[in-house]
Amino acid sequence: MRATIILVLAVVLGASGSARAADAPEQILVLPDAIAWKPGPPSIPAGAQIAVLRGDPAKAGPFTVRVRFPDGYRLPPHTHPSEERATVLQGALVVGFGEKWGEGQRLSMPAGSFRVTPPGVPHYLEARGETIFQVDGIGPVSVTYVDPADDPRKR
């Protein structure tokens, strides 16, 4: 089975019933057993895994990725230049808002939870149990750590 199944709608019928292939949107279908997990990017601590479902988060345009954290995984306080939309699919994700670990409001997001974090808002994450969440947004995505010493690219 292919890693992803991509169905392209070749013909879209307009109001007159005529075919307009040039306006056809792309439909993407990714089945759970076809998700290809890879090690997380160098911008986050080792141990996380990522699966790109749509687009390329490193390039301009829409993207959808799944992220898997092992139990106890921590992502230090950081920001993003664009809005981050995340849905927890499995486990629980503790999200803290602040520039230091443990600072500010902390919320536990069980499976089924959804959050939107505006650009530039410092936040940090911790997994409770193996946690899988999906992130949708507009790339390119980048991670800027509040404390540069937390950046795994600088170690």
Per-residue pLDDT tens over the stretch 110-141: 999 999 999 999 999 999 999 999 999 999 99
> What are the tokens at 3?
């890693």
- Calculate mean pLDDT across residues 94-116: 95
pTM exceeds 0.75: yes
Q: Where are the domains of the chain?
A: 1-32, 35-154
What spatial distance separates the first Cα and last Cα of the chain, rounded to whole Å?
39
Q: Which amino acid is at 49?
A: Q
DSSP string, 91-110: EEEEEEESSSTT-S-EEEEE
Spelled out in words, what is the top-level CATH class assigned to the domain 35-154?
A: mainly beta
Tell me which residue has tokens 């950046």.
151
Per-residue pLDDT tens over the stretch 18-32: 444 556 677 888 899
